[in-house]
Amino acid sequence: MKIHEYQAKELLSRYDVPVPRGSVAKTAREAGETADQISQRVVIKAQVHSGGRGKVGGIRIAETPAEAEQIARELLGTKLVTHQTGPEGLTINAVLVEEAVQAEKELYLGMLINTSAYAPMVIASEAGGMEIEEITTRNPAKILRQHFELVAGLLPYKARTLAYGVNLPTENIRPVTQVMAGMYRLFTEKDCSLVEINPLVTTTDGRLLALDAKINFDDNALSHHQDIVQLHDSSQEDPLEVEAGNTGVNYVKIGGNVGCLVNGAGLAMATMDMIKMVGGEPANFLDVGGGASEEQVAQALKILLADPNVKAAWINVFGGILRCDVVARAVVRVLEESKASVPFIVRMNGTNLQEAMRVLEESELNITFEADLVSAAEKAVAMAKLRLSKANDTSQ
């Protein structure tokens, strides 16, 4: 689960990590008032679940409270499109108004679990301000890493090694190791999957501040942290993905026009790969899971069909606990109810296959059964292309 920058900063500050003075505003007037209280130049930062906001006008300087109010008015309610959001962008429902600071040195600090080492890891770099991927590509030598064991915690000597390694002046060593200690406590107490401060800056007036922050949480641990669940903002997610989450299936919108519904995450990825391999574009990842009920499969199908880009759909199921006939009944029911004209390719194998085929054949719906994987993919892709060209013809 992701949260907003302002929420991340509030959390960090509770763990003794210093952040700039400021507060979140949901209206332009609030933004102006906050700027007035700070009584100096401020930064107005659009709160969306994405990086790269500065490059597309989502982070702006205001010299006066009136200007702050004006900028907030321009940003609030609009959509911000960054390189991470996709073309649809994300709605700005809040802005963070903060004192503008003069940075002297910009550091990167990140904490996550290194899955190869089976240990939490702190990453530090003196090339802060750009994304970690960018630092890795441009200057891998500038990246320092230290692993920790949960039993020993964040050993101070390792934190110091990182602090000295990023060439901080002596007076900053202790404050930076304290920042790391705070990050580590937050990481372990709240089951984070990522705590990132980028940049952590030293200012011309001698302060150390977390200028930007990103925190992600382990979805599997959310049931232990009701305070974190409260921070969830579904306006930052695709509505269909939110609905899928409520239904208990895994759906990710990809953007192509060949929808697919699969049981099992690996098979669902492989199905998308196969669509791509034969020259199509998958519309979504959709894994209904191993033990889905007919109702869940039906809900999942409705979600798949709610994406207007979907021109053809491919059901690819290996029946185990989830029986083929259960999927077939759900398909028939949804297609009959919704009167959707999207053609369906069904490829199934496993438990109760014969019964499933009987249900599909009796339905007289636009469903093609295809046993071979590649042929199924090719048919789905061809049907999507055909429907797309027909739609273009009618619109001309």
Partner 1 sequence: MILVNEDTRVLVQGITGREASFHTRKCLEYGTKVVAGVTPGKGSISWEKEVPVFNSVAEAKKETGANASLIFVPAPFAVDAILESADAGIKVVACITEFIPALDELKCHYYLSNQETRLIGPNCPGIISPPGKCKMGIMPSYIHRPGNVGVVSRSGTLTYEAVTQLTEQSLGQTTCVGLGGDPLPGTSFVDILKLFQADPETKAVVLIGEIGGTYEQEAADFIQKHMTKPVVAYIAGSSAPSGKRMGHAGAIISGNASKALNKITSLAAAGATVVENFGQIGLVTKKILSSRI
Q: Between residues 42 and 331, which has the closer beta carbon with respect to partner 1?
A: 331
Residue closer to partner 1 (CB basis): 34 or 352: 352
Instruction: Report in angstroms how near the CB of residue 187 gets to partner 1 at its nearest.
Output: 9
In whole angstroms, the minimum distance from the beta carbon of 37 to partner 1 comes to: 36
- How far apart CA 49 and CA 92 sit, in angstroms, is 10
In angstroms, give the least distance from the CB of 188 to partner 1.
Answer: 7
What would the two tokens of residue 44 be?
């107005």
Residue closer to partner 1, measured from CB, 69 or 196: 196
Please write down the HEC assignment for all residues of 303-335.
Answer: HHHHCCCCCEEEEEEEECCCCHHHHHHHHHHHH
Nearest residue to 303 via CA among 360, 383, 242, 215: 242
Please give the helix or strand (H or E) that residue 6 lies within, else none: helix 5-14
Nearest approach, Cβ of 270 to partner 1 (angstroms)?
A: 5
How far is it, in rounded angstroms, from Cα 211 to Cα 43?
Answer: 11
Smallest gap, in angstroms, from Cβ of residue 334 to partner 1? 21
Alpha carbons 232 and 277: distance in angstroms, whole number = 36
Q: Between 175 and 350, whose beta carbon lies closer to partner 1?
A: 350
- Burial call 143-177: b when 16+ CB within 10 Å, e when fewer: bbebebeeeeebeeebbbebbebbebeeebbebbb
Reply yes or no on whether 196 is catalytic. yes
**Token pair of 193, please?**
């999957």
Angle between helices 239-247 and 294-306 (to 10 degrees): 180
Catalytic residue among 108, 237, 251, 378: 108
Bond into 199 cis (ω within 30):
yes
Q: Which residues form the interface with partner 1 (CB under 8 A)?
A: 84, 113, 115-116, 118-120, 133, 136, 149-151, 188, 191, 193, 218-221, 223-224, 250, 252, 254, 262-270, 272-277, 282, 285, 287, 290-291, 318-321, 349-351, 372-374
Biggest CA-to-CA distance, the chain: 79
DSSP 166: T
Task: Give the shortest CB-133-to-partner 1 separation in angstroms.
Answer: 6
Token pair listed for 8:
């991340």
Cα gap 236→353, rounded to integer Å? 40
Closer CB to partner 1, 25 or 324, in the complex: 324
Q: Which is nearer to partner 1, 211 or 286 (CB)?
A: 286
Of 120, 93, 99, nearest in space to 9 by CA: 99
Q: Closest Cα partner for 345 from 308, 376, 389? A: 376
Active-site choice (196, 237, 243, 378): 196
Is 108 designated active site? Answer: yes
Q: Quote the least distance from Cβ 22 to partner 1, whole Å.
A: 27
* Tokens 């049981």 -> residue: 263
Of 243 and 287, which CB lies nearer to partner 1 in the complex structure? 287
DSSP 2: B
Give me the active site residues, please: 108, 196
